[in-house]
Structure 1
């Protein structure tokens, strides 16, 4: 047997090949370091961060919690209402889109739905709020519309993935008995996928509460406007109350929503 191996044969050996993972790791690392320098990162600036954080926190303490109870709680409630209405809008719109976006059920239509979903996900809530404020005016309604439209994309994508994971045999059984594809959706698909889809709705509601807290900055209602005013007039103690109460409310809602989601999924 000849010991002279060609270059192609050497490359075929596992130990001599540069795999895709190695190349991807190198590219990701290179992009990371290039991005660091592009944003002006230096080790010296990073070392200054802890001291700067401590100095800023000293401005916020002690918090004026009396202001928080009087002014912040109503604004937080409004943020929750914005998130809830936006989530309901998204749930109503995304459910049929998720069904028609399933490749196993409607392969041709799924491409169109996928494009709609990707387009909706491309716009952050705050940009949509800037767009809706001149149309419907300042206030919570603009925020709810922004939250709703932005959430449709994510919920449609997640819902379609849930439907695609379903055993297609149940649909075929309904159709074999003489039922239409729509009847199969109603009696075979929806009962199987709805619990997981509702869990996705609740998770999106948690995310929407965080998003709605920012929309007040552009006049779309919620606690963001209150926070902006306290910072604008350098009332840092009041701003601290806004942040503390917002964090507490968000954590409480996350806990309750997470427990509800677990119970829904378990059945």
Structure 2
């Protein structure tokens, strides 16, 4: 397909999309859905701009047709072979430049869909342009609450934020422990190299169902009606912990099963050859290989659950979220108490970062092991002395004075 035909195809497609979008604005769905109506007008506007641009580019391309034809004639005349001249074959030809027509068309389509989505959701460019100034205003208001000497009201805000955040950490810890206890056996049953198909397929199906349901749905639809809503003494914390625990089972079991499926098969074959039972094979051939990775997965899930507990708290499942969620939280007041909001966000960020650093340290220690420094041997007895042909040189005679070894 020549370049001119590609321009014609792109222009025709843009015009057709714009026309179809305009026609769909009169469809019955447009009268019942404002989002669909605005999206179609946004799609029509985006496709129209693309069509206009392609039309201008096509006219410019057509205007240079005579010059391109003359250049082609000149190149063909210059390539006439003289007698005795070397004739290049295919291996001597210059590589063909990759065609970017479909790539550029895909980028344009993404841009058009973006414009349509922005129009359908009612986004305004003016609000986007005003956002930096408003962010600076709100940030200074929140920072004034964090970096000033607290009075009685702000002291109460600091205490409430710390108490609620520690409650969120406790909820996340309980949920992670619940998920860890059940995820290891479920992960073993869901591993293809550890289970038969009669066990593997149903377990995978059950874990897929658990992962398909977000923890928010578990909390709102099941555990908050069963256990209560609000602060810890009213059952909200327990509802959040169990929602995170059930959701963690699906995710952790999948990751653990994939880790088990990737173990070295050598120890498994050796344990089978020695007559070990299935439980013994898991204990002595599988768990030693995957346990560091499993512990790292559990710690990472703990970090995720801390963030998720803040979201569940906004729904009444306890934790820091209940302080900021409307109608009784900070964002339910008018005007917004930006100083108290800044204190709450500061506490969330500091405690979350601290937990992340501790978890990262423990995870690195579990995976890579501890590195200790060997002490330099003293000048006592031992084979490693000068003049001992069977021993190594003494540490003070040029040998290694210390070494870091993993244990």
What is the TM-score with the length of structure 2 in the denominator? 0.57
| Alignment partner, residue 277 of structure 2 | 180
1:255 matched to 2:351? The reply is no
Aligned-residue offset at 1:81: 0.5
Whole-Å separation in 2 of the counterparts to 1:32 and 1:118: 31
Aligned equivalent of 2:401? none
Gaps of 5+ in 1: 1-13
Change (3 A) 1:22 1:99: farther
Name the residue aligned to 2:253.
156
| Alignment coverage as a number of residue pairs | 253
Q: 1:101 aligns with which of 190, 197, 201?
A: 190
Counterpart of 2:322? 225
Query: Is 1:135 matched up with 2:232?
Result: no
CA apart distance, 1:46: 3.1
Decide which of 76, 87, 99 is 2:165's aligned counterpart.
Answer: 76
SS at match of 2:144: coil
CA drift at 1:147: 0.7
Where do residues 53-132 of structure 1 align in structure 2 (5 Å cutoff)? Answer: 53-63=135-145, 66-108=155-197, 109-131=199-221, 132=223
Moved more, 203-212 or 26-35: 26-35
Aligned-residue offset at 1:163: 0.4
Residues 86 and 148 in structure 1, CA contact (< 8 A), matched pair in contact too: yes
C-alpha distance in structure 1 between counterparts of 2:237 and 2:108, whole Å: 44
What are the superposed Cα offsets for residues 109-168 of structure 1, whole Å, 9 maximum, x if unpaired? 222222222222222222221121110112210010011011111111110111011012
More helix by share: 1
Aligned equivalents of 1:251, 1:97: Cα separation in 2: 31
Unaligned 5+ runs, structure 2: 1-94, 230-235, 370-407
Counterpart of 1:235 (choices 313, 332, 337) is 337
CA contact (8 A) 2:165 2:348 kept: yes
SS of residue paired to 1:60: helix
Of 268, 273, 294 in structure 2, the residue corresponding to residue 171 of structure 1 is 268
Residues 195-234 of structure 1 show CA distances to partners (whole Å, capped at 9, x for unaligned) of 1101100000011111111222121110111122122123
Of 270, 294, 308 in structure 2, the residue corresponding to residue 211 of structure 1 is 308
1:22 and 1:97, CA in 2 relative to 1: closer, same or farther beyond 3 A? farther
SS of match in other structure, 1:154: helix
Q: CA RMSD in A?
A: 2.8
Q: Relative contact order (C-alpha < 8 Å, sep 6+): which is higher?
A: 1
Which aligned pairs between 1:38-53 and structure 2 lie closer than 5 A? Answer: 38-41=120-123, 43-53=125-135
Per the TM alignment, residue 69 of structure 1 is displaced from its structure 2 partner at its CA by 2.8
Contact 1:99 1:160 in 2 (8 A): yes
* Counterpart-to-counterpart distance in 2, 1:176 and 1:27: 61
| Inter-partner Cα distance in structure 1 for 2:283 and 2:299 | 22
TM-score by length of 1: 0.84
